[in-house]
Structure 1
Amino acid sequence: MGSTHVNRRDLIKRTAAAGLVAAPGMGLLSSCASGGGENEDKVDKGKKSKDNPLAVNKDAKLEVVIFNGGYGDQYAKDNHAVYEKSFGQVEHVKTQKIRTKMQPRMVKGNPPDVINNSGAENMDIASLIKDEQVMDLEPLLDAPSLFDPSKKVRDTLLPGTIEKGQFGSDKMYQLNYSFTVYGVWYSKTALEKLDLEYPKTWDEMLAACAKAKKEGIAGWTYAGKYPYYFAFTLYPFFTKIGGQEVMKAIDNLEPNAWKHDAVKKAFEAYHELYAKGYILKGTPGIDHIQSQTQWNKGKALFLPNGSWVENEARKTTPKDFEMTVAPPSSLDKSDAMPFETIYAEASEPFMVPAKAKNVEGGMEWLRIMLGKQSTQNFSEQVSALTCVDGAAEGLDLKPGLSSAQQILKAAGENVVGPRLQDWYLELHKDKIGGAIASMMSGDIEPDEAIKRCQKAADDVAKDDSVKKYKR
């Protein structure tokens, strides 16, 4: 969410120059009608025991739908094999079109038992919860852990994981399985060839880009077709400049939150990358895979992304690339938070639909995925951390994931955890992403981008049909 994260994110389209109008059908699809009766084919519960704490019907089949993006789907197939040793057969479905394929089934009341609700076509989880379409996962949290049998599942999860799955209540509806570290990704080898170290201030960043440009290398590239990727570095950048209250105000849809001086400074800094010609030519028209490929080819130094990128880009990554992630550069010494501040969170969401046939089996499948065998398999296979504390310790990690683990440790408590993308999906992806896209392609100036972001946020704040959240 990693993850990717998409293809992870293939729906959001650049909208008219403003980027403020949803793509056709987006509004209709972003919420789920509560129609459809209870699933008449629900299986009976099994007998609860020490080995079956969730009372799974051992003869019942299970249907699991996996988003086939940056993490692929083999890790899920491996988890099926563990599940089937004690329980029924698993029907495996993979797709990149989660909303297109799953939304109709949610409406009709015959959803699968587990949905990996990720990618550009992820369903609006907040709307699904509002319509009582998603199971409360508290039974899973209170079940014995398969990672550490002396603890409950809830006591093995990294800080923020449970909160990330809560939406205005104390119940967890969504399990974010991966723990994603976002930041500025680069090749250590490429920097060394230019006799550069990673720039810790914005002046140093501009100087690095200028040096690269002289050698025919762009400073930056990014997923131009999915401009919300910029949030991975912009959100922590302006939070670093102005403090945690800046992002909190934006998440809470407070009036004039986007007009904070820290946001203005961050937007102006990023716009300077465009103005000085440090963006790879053609970037506004490429997707995440194309941007990663150009980056791997040495066409650009820096790429805003999440820690799923090491797995997603593995086919085009040179062996001597030394993929590395760093926090966004500080603006200057006046920043409210240290350079080490990063954006990291539990991501790659899974849910158990309320009207699924085999709810207990769905939760057990997730419990197994949180066990030692599956968490370590996931990290080794797709080069990503999981939400289980300490699960990657002792593993031989690839360079990118190793660096992600290092900067997460260095950040300590200086971790930014935005909620805008969870609570107001269309606002985050389409409208704010669209405004940033227009700014980074030179269509509008930073002041206009801020104005559009604020208007979009104000429109959501005034819309009584949208449930509001606070942190």
Structure 2
Amino acid sequence: MGSTNVNRRDLIKRSAAVGLVAAPGMGLLSACASGGGENENKVDKGKKSKDNPLAVNKDAGLEVVIFNGGYGDQYALDNHKVYEKNFGKVSHAKTQKIRTKMQPRMVKGDPPDVINNSGAENMDVASLIEKGQVADLQPLLDAPSLYDPSKKVSETLLPGTLEKGRFGSDKVYQLNYSYTVYGVWYSKTNLEKLDLEYPKTWDEMLAACAKAKKEGVAGWTYAGKHPYYFSFTLYPFIAKIGGQDVLKAIDNLEPNAWKHDAVKKAFEAYHELYAKGYVLKGTPGIDHIQSQTQWNKGKALFIPNGSWVENEAKKTTPKDFEMAVAPPSSLDKSDAMPFETLWAEASEPFMVPKQAKNVEGGMEWLRVMLGKQSTQNFSKQVSALTCVDGAAEGLDLLPGLASAQQTLKEAGDNLVSPRLHDWYLELHKDKVGGAIASMMAGDIEPAEAMKRCQKAADEVAKDDSVKKYKR
């Protein structure tokens, strides 16, 4: 727990972050309750063979919990059927309340075998790993791939996938299944109605928003209730202006990282969207679904989002919408990185709890999901890439996914992958997200937003109870 010189409020807050407090009224549990001890009900291992490289007990059941968000859960139900051909029955549950539902079970030492730890209520995986509650996935990575049997699973994954699953060690604890392209999403159709092309510079962006405003259309909307969505364009914008090292300094909690000139320029540019009235009225009070719906209705041209949006918003997306994604507009010619610079990375995290009853089965379920049948089913069904290299090639892709794939190709090596959201969840979502939310709502100026971000980062850097990471 770090230094003992903390008050009771701080102690409870820190304990909750690592899963020691399950819910209000449950009280503070002992450290050994979350220390990663063995589940007394663990199933016996099966016999290792060519067809069963992970030694799964074929008669044992498996419990899988899926985040019911942008990708839904049908892809997982389909994966269950493939798994059940050779192994035991799968018990399935879906929820948007991952932390509320799963953290008490992690504390009690009776977690499911696979958890899709995603969404606004995801658990702090860094803290869970620190407490020994997450299984090392190396057996899975060393197993033969069901996508290409001539390779190990680890050899079939896109660059950066393994790194995303590491938290300060060589071990991989988390499998990020989807490969997400973050950026500015728009409708080609709606831009064409205004005789516009996607703005590649900030001056062009402001001009596009001004033209839209004259026609009664807002330039931007976003998930005001989940302001960390803005990081999907702001983080790569900061890197584009000042270079990769600015994001590295932010990730590494370096002093004055948030005071860098690139951060100042990025914040001031986005604040200008608010100041000139280019943000859809009411945006600060709406969530991701509501913002996407308004965007689909043509109320706003641009929205910061990830490539799950095509599936998540499909019920409200017009057939002729022609969804597309682009990198954030360049600021000006002084930018350190080219326009094509993009945030793209393995995302949608899955983990196998160390205390699960059927750890081997959990890893096998993930191995099946990384096979050709399930990866291609995922891409066709939810319009998203997977972390398996080349798995979507040859498929008939929807417009948004085709655009994401093309944008990723054009970026080449100009990819950024910030880690703040992985390593310091509360800092990223609540503190930085909160500062950006206040700035974009017009409550504070960019300078104050920078100050708040830096103060929050400094507090984490000085907190001995929080494990630190470097890149």
Q: Take 1:185 and 1:111, find their aligned partners in 2: how far apart are those partners?
A: 37
Deviation at 1:44, TM superposition (A): 0.5
User: Which residue is 2:27 aligned to?
Assistant: none
User: Which residue is 1:43 aligned to?
Assistant: 43
Q: Take 1:246 and 1:397, find their aligned partners in 2: how far apart are those partners?
A: 35
Q: Take 1:223 and 1:102, find their aligned partners in 2: how far apart are those partners?
A: 25
User: Which residue is 1:420 aligned to?
Assistant: 420
User: Which residue is 2:243 aligned to?
Assistant: 243
3-state secondary structure, aligned to 2:258: helix
User: Which residue is 2:75 aligned to?
Assistant: 75
Question: Aligned letter for 1:186?
Answer: Y
Runs of 4+ off more than 4 Å? 25-28
User: Which residue is 2:144 aligned to?
Assistant: 144
2:16 is the counterpart of 1:29: yes
Task: Give matches, 1:71-110, under 5 Å.
Answer: 71-110=71-110
Task: Give matches, 1:323-342, under 5 Å.
Answer: 323-342=323-342
User: Which residue is 2:23 aligned to?
Assistant: none
Deviation at 1:314, TM superposition (A): 0.1
Deviation at 1:32, TM superposition (A): 1.9
Q: For each residue in 1:163-192, what CA deviation from the matched residue of structure 2 results, as whole angstroms up to 9, or x when unmatched?
A: 000000000000000000000000000000
RMSD: 1.0
User: Which residue is 1:392 aligned to?
Assistant: 392
Q: For each residue in 1:208-252, what CA deviation from the matched residue of structure 2 results, as whole angstroms up to 9, or x when unmatched?
A: 000000000000000000000000000000100000000000000
Deviation at 1:27, TM superposition (A): 5.3
User: Which residue is 1:14 aligned to?
Assistant: none
Deviation at 1:30, TM superposition (A): 2.3
2:119 is the counterpart of 1:119: yes
Pick 1 or 2: higher relative contact order, CA cutoff 8 A, min separation 6. Answer: 1
Deviation at 1:151, TM superposition (A): 0.2
Question: Aligned letter for 1:417?
Answer: S
Matched-pair contact (CA < 8 Å) for 1:29–1:99: no
Q: Take 2:455 and 2:416, find their aligned partners in 1: how far apart are those partners?
A: 24
Deviation at 1:29, TM superposition (A): 3.3
Deviation at 1:304, TM superposition (A): 0.2
Matched-pair contact (CA < 8 Å) for 1:39–1:109: yes
Q: Take 1:27 and 1:331, find their aligned partners in 2: how far apart are those partners?
A: 39
Q: Take 1:109 and 1:52, find their aligned partners in 2: how far apart are those partners?
A: 27
Q: Take 2:440 and 2:174, find their aligned partners in 1: how far apart are those partners?
A: 33
User: Which residue is 2:176 aligned to?
Assistant: 176
Instruction: Give the count of matched residue pairs.
Output: 448
Task: Give matches, 1:215-294, under 5 Å.
Answer: 215-294=215-294
Question: Aligned letter for 2:170?
Answer: D
- Unaligned 5+ segments in structure 2 are 1-8, 21-30
Q: Take 2:32 and 2:196, find their aligned partners in 1: how far apart are those partners?
A: 58
2:450 is the counterpart of 1:450: yes
Question: Aligned letter for 1:414?
Answer: N
Deviation at 1:38, TM superposition (A): 2.2
3-state secondary structure, aligned to 1:315: coil
Matched-pair contact (CA < 8 Å) for 1:35–1:107: no
Question: Aligned letter for 1:142?
Answer: D
Compute the TM-score of the two structures, normalised by the length of structure 1. 0.94
Matched-pair contact (CA < 8 Å) for 1:35–1:109: no
Q: Take 2:364 and 2:78, find their aligned partners in 1: how far apart are those partners?
A: 15
- Unaligned 5+ segments in structure 1 are 1-21
User: Which residue is 2:3 aligned to?
Assistant: none
Q: Take 1:104 and 1:461, find their aligned partners in 2: how far apart are those partners?
A: 28
Q: For each residue in 1:406-459, what CA deviation from the matched residue of structure 2 results, as whole angstroms up to 9, or x when unmatched?
A: 010100110010000000000000000000000000000000000000000000
Q: Once the two structures are aligned, what percentage of the paired residues are identical?
A: 85
Q: Take 1:265 and 1:257, find their aligned partners in 2: how far apart are those partners?
A: 14
User: Which residue is 1:212 aligned to?
Assistant: 212
